[in-house]
Amino acid sequence: MKKYSQILLFLVFVLFGCTNKPKKEKNVNPSKDSLSIYLSLANDINLPFHYKQKYNQKAFDIIIDQQNDSLNRANLFKIANRYYNMSDWKSYKKISKLILERSISSKDSSNIAKAYTYLGDYYQSEMVSDSAFLNYFRAEKIYLGINDDINLVKTFIAKADLQLHEGDFFESEITVFKALKILKTKKNVSKELYESYNLLGIIYNEREEYDKALEYHNKALSMLNDKSISLEFQLKAISLNNIGYVYLNMHNFNQAKNYFKKGLEQKDLFNGNTALYAILLDNLAYSKFKSEDFTDLPSQFYRALKIRDSLKIEPGIILNKIHLSEYYAFKKDTFRAIQYSKQALVLSKKSNTIRNILESLKQIAIVDHKNASGYSKDYIEYNEKLLKEERKMGEKFSRIEYETNEIKDENSNLQEKNKTLVYVFSICTLIGLFFYVYKTQQAKNRELLFKQQQQIANEDIYNLMISQQNDIEMTRIKEKKKVAQELHDGVLGRMFGVRISLDSLDKLDEAHAAPKRKKYLAELKHIEEDIREISHDLNREKSELINNFVAILNKLFENQQNTYNSKLITSFDSHIKWELVENMVKINLYRIIQEALQNCNKYAKASTIEVEFKSEINHLILSISDDGVGFNTKRTKNGIGLHNIQYRAAECKGTVTIKSAKGEGTILIIKVPIDQKINLQKNDS
């Protein structure tokens, strides 16, 4: 009788939990008026079941298309609560899983844990205890992680309730005390304290520690003095029933009757919690029967049975039929006693609840003497099976907890290892980056130093070339001075002598003067030719003085022609003002021509090379072409020579264009910006 009574008290506790669920959804305002209406109708106890289902589905149709945010998930919890209250377990599970998926995708830890508790409630209602325990345990770990103490306490209580249901009283007691340890540090937790004390009272009653059971049930009852706990849940009636049940087990039937009567006297009990009303009525009838008070018996048993039949509460129906069997056995009505015990046994086997089967077998073995040995044998087999299942379930709970913790530890270790790897990788990356930056900076510094040194070398080379050219020019200047002296001393003297001689002709007659005039005119003609020749030489030297860069290039071209067999054609645009071109540009152009000629000589196998300088608006164009073997510009990797050409062109802020193909020769075009308009204006001024 004792183990079966545990089921009864467990059902009371579950019914309390069921009626309590809607309270979770307060303070959440739906976004649409129609949603609020549908949810209200789905929770209306006066409506038929199929109407409540229809309205809940309409509410779900509104919610499902909304954005996955906190309000959406709160409304989905409302839908789940209503399915729970309707005992529509299939729909309840579906919505709970949907909430879990949406909470995970939103990384909403609080609602992930809450969804796990809902799934735990589902599996507990379906008596799949290991799955229920696993979901409660998952919720527990999340609440621990986010320091949500109140919801952690609620999860502990649900877990302890499950452990009690599976007969694991010791672990159930430990879990409740975990909850109480947290609650003692909190304020305004009367409801949670009530649940904890009530559960401890049930545990100690099952362990036949009746004094402790009464102590904690009375503590639970005292919690109800807190006005913040709603009266609609009929918690006082629950506690009165539980205290009465302890006295019933103590065989103090009169005390038991008093508490059951007080429970039945609670206001609006029948309408507020019909199932609890039936439990109290059946317990009152049973305690009256055990105290041989047959007032209103067996009608009270039948009234309780009728209520339970209408609510389809199978454990309650089984218990009621066993009580009736006991009653009729006492009244010597063996037929009815056997009839009700058989009905209880059939219903127990149909529901496949071992504890119910044991209680039914125990009763039928008492009333059916002929078949008592067979029933007793079955009782022993089922009892052994129950003990094995309880032991197995306790071990399974421990294994689930151990394996989950082990996985968590492995994940923690893996996370620590990953963190270490990340730290090591980050440090190595930073060190590598530091060395890369350091080496890059060194390379840049070396490159800059090289450029500076190259620039100095180029300047030195060019200055040396200019110096050499200046030495040549100084020699030419000396020559010009000598020529000027000769003009002054020679040509002018001759002209002066001719002029004097011509003046003397005026004193001679025409016959003698004519031959001498012809002689002096011839002399003047020779002097004119000498002056013209000297003038041409001077003009040519002036041009060479101005265009000494061209002279340097011509020297380079002369060396090329003297050294190689290829024909060299050169062309200089006369519009180029070389004296206005910067020395840096001249140096780089000279080096580009030098490099290009070297490439032609080394690789091109050209018979003709053409070097041309042209002037465009604001640009100086250098074109070097050959009729050599050429190359594929897309496939051929640029060598050092071409890199040097590109580098020098870039130094002049110019561009390089290479046109070539196999067997079609090569054209190299260098385009350097020169602001000739400004330079010409300066030059003209």
Three-state SS string across 243-260, please? HHHHHHHCCCHHHHHHHH
CA gap 585, 672 in Å, rounded: 8
- 98, two tokens: 């949907």
Which tops the pLDDT comparison, 650 or 685?
650
| Cis peptide leading into residue 298 (ω within 30°) | yes
- 415, two tokens: 């996370």
Q: Work out the pLDDT band at 281, boundaries 50, 70, 90.
A: very high
**CA distances in angstroms from 136 to 146, 161, 199, 281, listed in the order given:** 16, 11, 17, 34
| CA angle in degrees (0–180, nearest 5) for 244-279-272 | 110
> What pLDDT is attached to residue 215?
95
The region of weakest confidence among 214-228, 407-421, 518-532, 618-632 is 407-421
pLDDT of 6 > 90? The answer is no
**CA distances in angstroms from 521 to 393, 497, 511, listed in the order given:** 146, 12, 16
Burial category of 228 from C-beta neighbours within 10 Å (exposed 0-12, middle 13-18, buried 19 and up): exposed
pLDDT of 15 > 90? The answer is no
> What pLDDT is attached to residue 480?
66
What sign has the CA pseudo-torsion 270, 272, 274, 278?
A: negative
Token pair 């009905």 is found at 343
Exposure on the CB side of residue 331, measured as CA atoms within 13 A: 16
Q: Which of 272, 269, 249, 251 is nearest to 261 (CA)?
A: 269
Do the bridges between strand 608-616 and strand 567-572 make them parallel or antiparallel, or are there none, so unpaired? parallel
| CA angle in degrees (0–180, nearest 5) for 294-296-301 | 90
Q: How many residues does the chain have?
A: 685
Q: What is the mean pLDDT of residues 379-385?
A: 79
Q: What is the mean pLDDT of residues 71-97?
A: 91
> What pLDDT is attached to residue 399?
59
Run of H or E including 613: strand 608-616
Do the bridges between strand 655-660 and strand 619-626 make them parallel or antiparallel, or are there none, so unpaired? unpaired
Exposure on the CB side of residue 191, measured as CA atoms within 13 A: 16
The amino acid that residue 132 corresponds to is A
CA gap 665, 633 in Å, rounded: 12
pLDDT above 90 coverage of the chain, percent: 39
Beta bridge pairs of residue 659:
667
CA gap 240, 657 in Å, rounded: 102
- 179, two tokens: 């909850």
Most confident of 231-235, 470-474, 508-512, 621-625: 621-625
Q: What are phi and psi of 660, to 5 degrees?
A: -160, 155
**CA distances in angstroms from 196 to 182, 183, 221, listed in the order given:** 11, 10, 11
| Cis peptide leading into residue 673 (ω within 30°) | no
pLDDT of 83 > 80? The answer is yes
> What pLDDT is attached to residue 482?
61
The region of weakest confidence among 49-63, 516-530, 596-610 is 516-530
> What pLDDT is attached to residue 437?
85
> Do 579 and 539 form a contact (C-beta atoms < 8 A)?
no
Most confident of 337-341, 385-389, 660-664: 337-341
Run of H or E including 343: helix 334-351
Which tops the pLDDT comparison, 544 or 591?
591
Number of neighbours of residue 103 by Cβ within 10 angstroms:
22
Token pair 């087999």 is found at 381
CA gap 454, 447 in Å, rounded: 10
| Average pLDDT across the chain, whole number | 81
Which tops the pLDDT comparison, 359 or 520?
359
pLDDT of 651 > 60? The answer is yes
Residue 170: alpha-carbon gap to chain centroid: 44
CA gap 158, 120 in Å, rounded: 8
> Do 28 and 75 form a contact (C-beta atoms < 8 A)?
yes
> What pLDDT is attached to residue 540?
55
pLDDT, tens digit, 9 for 90 and up, residues 447-503: 777 766 766 766 666 666 666 666 666 766 666 666 666 565 556 666 766 667 777
CA gap 150, 148 in Å, rounded: 6
- In DSSP notation, 411-426 reads HHHHHHHHHHHHHHHH
The amino acid that residue 402 corresponds to is Y
Query: Percentage helix, strand, coil, to 5, in the chain?
Result: 75, 5, 15
Burial category of 593 from C-beta neighbours within 10 Å (exposed 0-12, middle 13-18, buried 19 and up): buried
CA gap 125, 111 in Å, rounded: 21
CA gap 542, 554 in Å, rounded: 16
Q: Which of 140, 139, 135, 106 is nearest to 123 (CA)?
A: 135
Alpha helices in 368-490 (DSSP H): 372-486
Q: What is the mean pLDDT of residues 95-105?
A: 94
For residue 565, give the 3-state DSSP assignment: coil
Number of neighbours of residue 511 by Cβ within 10 angstroms:
7
Beta bridge pairs of residue 568:
609
Which tops the pLDDT comparison, 597 or 583?
597
Alpha helices in 21-88 (DSSP H): 33-42, 49-64, 70-85
- 304, two tokens: 């309780």
pLDDT, tens digit, 9 for 90 and up, residues 110-133: 999 999 999 999 998 888 888 888
- 513, two tokens: 């003067």
208: left (phi over 0), alpha (psi -120 to 50) or beta: left
Exposure on the CB side of residue 156, measured as CA atoms within 13 A: 27
CA gap 381, 389 in Å, rounded: 12
pLDDT, tens digit, 9 for 90 and up, residues 570-581: 999 888 888 888
